[in-house]
Amino acid sequence: MSNTEEKYRLFEEKNKIAELGGGQDRIDKQHAAGRKTARERIDLLFDPGTFVELDKFVTHRATDFDLEKTKFLGDGVVSGYGKIDGRLMYVFAQDFTVFGGSLSRANADKIIKVMDLAMKMGAPVIGLNDSGGARIQEGVESLAGYADIFYRNVMSSGVIPQISAILGPCAGGAVYSPAITDFIMMVKESSYMFVTGPDVIKTVTHEEVTKEELGGAMTHNSKSGVAHLTADDDEQAMMMIRELMSFLPSNNLEDPPFKMSSDDVNREDKKLNDLIPDDPNKPYDMKELILSVIDDKHFFEIMPFFAQNMIIGFARLGGKPVGIVANQPAMLAGVLDIDASTKAARFVRFCDAFNIPLITLEDVPGFLPGTAQEFGGIIKHGAKLLYAFAEATVPKITLITRKAYGGAYDVMSSKHIGADLNFAYPSAEIAVMGSAGAVNIIHRTKLGDQTFIDSAIEDYKNNFASPYKAAQMGYIDEIIYPKDTRKKLIQALEMTQNKSKTNPAKKHGNIPL
């Protein structure tokens, strides 16, 4: 064997060793737990044959606790770049088979390298998290690695999309990097996130709780609102991330990707004319309206299990991605509360950062009353949504389908806080409050005269709780037939596509957090 051949053989051998991570036994253990390895996940995520690995032969540099005797090529994280639908994306995937995926100074440097490259090249970063946390043997060096990553997460925020998939344990300092990113995906029954685990909680507060109850996928998708998406397994998680990326631009200077659709832009849906019930207290499903008007009924919902009185998600209209924010009358009458406000506010700010037009579908009776809401700070949290809509400079199109009462009318992307086009159905009720409540206050001296009160309620309904008063004032640009909704929204998007608006120069505003 020639010298060159020997070098190639050694290179091949090292490649194979690096690709085995912690070894076959640990890979088998990972599979037995229903989880894929870091490399298998990357293969599912990227277009076939496009992944280019960086830093494959990096090892840790620690010498304490005899660590220098145990080294693995790659050191517990696989990093590099590849393509999704032909578009450049960066990735780091923690390898649980090596030191439990724990973070060393060396593999933090690998993550930092792809994050810095992503910022330079203006491409998204996807983090596949599967880690036991800091590598305790490295002490402060591991903690420094985390903080370096957090800093880059913050600097990248609003510049490039950042996606986190939680595909195993994620505890302690490890949870803060995902928390700063734009979207968190979790996998049912195999992933969890918490700052302090069940054992520490038991010691300190004497509460007994399982890992799943404390920080499992459904806990964070339905109770805490920390996570945005949930998948049944690793494979579905990777497919969902691919789908999510199809709606997002590569960076804040690009438009989101256009996708051809055979769905007719002028398509009418006569069923929508009968969707809104005559009785204002009767619920209906806002998702029916959304699915009817968007391209090919394809709606990618975000946070579907949290604050279900508010619907948020991505869709396309005439091939162009849009962010949809909609009250859901089928849940708590579509009322605004703390959770719904924060859920929608963060989504609005994401869409604004990445040039995604906002479509607001409104049927809101007001803010949720009660001591729990007031003590919980509904004033502050409701103001977040108001702030987010007012600050957003992307095209903003609002449609009032039925109720738009009180301060909630203002908050839901009204004309007064900068919406470009405001539509209403003939069934819209735009008023300070419902007709009966308003009449009971205005005519409280005549409450004994039921005939007068009934007539006054009817009068108020016709003159105040209708879209015509607002249309007379120019606050509603056009009253439309429900069947024409798709065509009207697409026309509005086309009209606003070259919108140019800049807010006053400042370092940044002070959103009510």
Residues assigned a catalytic role: 172-173, 407-408
The full DSSP string for 11-58 is HHHHHHHHHTTT-HHHHHHHHHTT---HHHHHHHHSPTT--EEE-TT-
Q: Please, are residues 207 and 51 in contact by the beta-carbon 8 Å criterion?
A: no
Length of the chain equals 513
Q: Please, are residues 77 and 53 in contact by the beta-carbon 8 Å criterion?
A: no
Q: Please, are residues 246 and 259 in contact by the beta-carbon 8 Å criterion?
A: yes
Phi, psi of 193 (to 5 degrees): -135, 135
Provide the residue type at 485 as one letter. T
Rounded to a whole number of angstroms, the distance between the first and last alpha carbons of the chain is 68
- The edge-to-edge listing of strands for the beta sheet with 125-129 is 52-54, 77-84, 87-94, 125-129, 162-166, 183-187, 229-231
DSSP secondary structure code for residue 255 in this structure: P
Given 3-state DSSP classes, what are the helix, strand and coil percentages for the chain, each rounded to the nearest 5? 45, 20, 35
Q: Please, are residues 109 and 149 in contact by the beta-carbon 8 Å criterion?
A: no
Q: Can you tell me the distance from the alpha carbon of 426 to that of 423, in angstroms, rounded to the nearest whole number?
A: 10
Q: Can you tell me the distance from the alpha carbon of 330 to that of 38, in angstroms, rounded to the nearest whole number?
A: 41
